[in-house]
Structure 1
Amino acid sequence: MAEVVNTAALRARLQQVYWIGGGSGAGKSTMARRIAAQHGLHLYATDDVMQDHASRSTPEDTPLLSRFKAMDMDERWVNRSPQIMLETFHWFRGEGFGLIVEDLLRLPAETGVIAEGFRLLPHLVKPLLVEPWHAIWLVPTPKFRRAAFDSRGTTWGIPHMTSDPERARRNLLERDQMFTDRLFEETKRLELPAIEVDTTMTEDELAEQVTHMFKL
């Protein structure tokens, strides 16, 4: 009973939060910045607090993160299969999500918030939603994601810190595609809103869709 009460209290406290999750390269950050600016909402980017969350974590709370920290770059990105990389990557498994909730609870209750990032996993966010339309997941097609990554340039800094940049790059692409596919399947299973983002969709069109679904 206490857990039910606590979840209900969290939902009430976080009812001003709009959540944008999704796969890498889907435009989450762009949409969140744009919509937050247009509607006077506070922007909370989970990517920006990853280092802080890692420093606040304990090995007991985040065992996968602790193992990841102990690996060198080749162990992380070259020597393991994309499947193993997917299954053991701490943020993909929800480690540290409680710290996201703690951060959001510290924000003024009267201020609307847009929280965005790949760490917002559907099964973790759903229990916190007063309304299902307060969350959306952006799911990029492989072509869109590849174009987004190629346009960034610096996104591929990680592979170049390994002994085999091309293999690391392939591993990262495959791992992230599997993660994106898993997210899409999870949104469908949990009956949560998702938008498939492809190269035919303009930024304005995507922003309009997300804003409409948020009923802003």
Structure 2
Amino acid sequence: MRHVYWIGGGSGAGKSTIARRLADRHGWRLFSTDDVMPDHARRTTADEAPLLHAFMAMDMDERWVDRSPETMLETFHWFRGEAFGLIVEDLLRMPRETPVLVEGFRLLPHLVQPLLTAPGQAVWLLPTPDFRRAAFRSRAVPGEGFTARTSDPERADRNLAARDDMFTERLHEETARLQLPTVTVGLTMPEDELVERVSGVFGL
């Protein structure tokens, strides 16, 4: 896995944008873990990924309205590392002559660390709450998005925001414990600067 680089982090941190810019700049292959989630869900069984299959059986209110943010965090399958092995399987099937840049929130530090030949192959982007909320506001279209399909979109959005704040804090604690590189992403950081900060971690 020496040819693989990783960008993990909290939701709304700009992982996809930064990864796409770096992949384009250096001619690398880009692997978005978000894009393969439906395929990975189909490739698992309930025994292999019980939280994923329980989530798939819920209706929209059960997923986003009825449960507390704490319960949502503790039981969200991707946050628990379910099907991470399928990411590794996909990467191992790719040609190794071209570096691969993997990005997504599914890249949990304790799962990625054993795959690194050096800490500088991976970085986690940790958005401040203000940055993440601004990012989601800029993307939001009134009446659209999956929370709009619940009976109480405002509550669903609040639950989701609280869950994601806690997830980002968990990433902060885990990367600190494992001594893995991070970049804090705030409202005052231009996109170009973030690209260069990540490039610096990778030694590019």
Fold similarity call, TM over 0.5: yes
Q: CA deviation at 1:209?
A: 0.6
Q: How does 1:181-196 map to 2 (within 5 A)?
A: 181-196=169-184
Q: Among 18, 21, 27, which residue is 1:40 paired with?
A: 27
Structure 2 segments unaligned to the other structure (5+ residues): none
Q: CA deviation at 1:161?
A: 0.6
Distance in structure 2 (CA, Å) of the matches to 1:154 and 1:100: 31
Query: Which residue of the partner structure matches residue 96 of structure 1?
Result: 83
SS in structure 2 opposite 1:20?
A: strand
Query: Which residue of the partner structure matches residue 200 of structure 2?
Result: 212
Runs of 4+ deviating beyond 4 Å = none
Distance in structure 1 (CA, Å) of the matches to 2:51 and 2:132: 26
Q: Among 20, 34, 38, which residue is 1:51 paired with?
A: 38
Q: How does 1:43-122 map to 2 (within 5 A)?
A: 43-122=30-109
Tell me the TM-score normalised to structure 1 length.
0.92
Read off the aligned partner of 2:33 and give its amino acid letter.
T
Distance in structure 2 (CA, Å) of the matches to 1:213 and 1:72: 41
Matched, 1:130 2:117: yes
SS in structure 2 opposite 1:120?
A: coil
Q: How does 1:21-36 map to 2 (within 5 A)?
A: 21-36=8-23
Q: Among 123, 136, 151, which residue is 1:163 paired with?
A: 151
Read off the aligned partner of 1:30 and give its amino acid letter.
T
Q: CA deviation at 1:43?
A: 0.2
Read off the aligned partner of 2:79 and give its amino acid letter.
F
Q: Among 150, 158, 162, which residue is 2:137 paired with?
A: 150
Q: CA deviation at 1:154?
A: 4.6
Residues 39-96 of structure 1 show CA distances to partners (whole Å, capped at 9, x for unaligned) of: 1110000000000000111111100001001110000000000000000000000001
Would you say how many aligned residue pairs link Structure 1 and Structure 2? 203
Q: Percent identity?
A: 67
**1:154–1:20 Cα change, 3 Å:** farther
Distance in structure 2 (CA, Å) of the matches to 1:129 and 1:213: 13
SS in structure 1 opposite 2:21?
A: helix
Q: CA deviation at 1:165?
A: 0.6
Distance in structure 2 (CA, Å) of the matches to 1:49 and 1:30: 17
Matched, 1:18 2:5: yes
Read off the aligned partner of 2:147 and give its amino acid letter.
P
Read off the aligned partner of 1:162 and give its amino acid letter.
T
Tell me the TM-score normalised to structure 2 length.
0.98
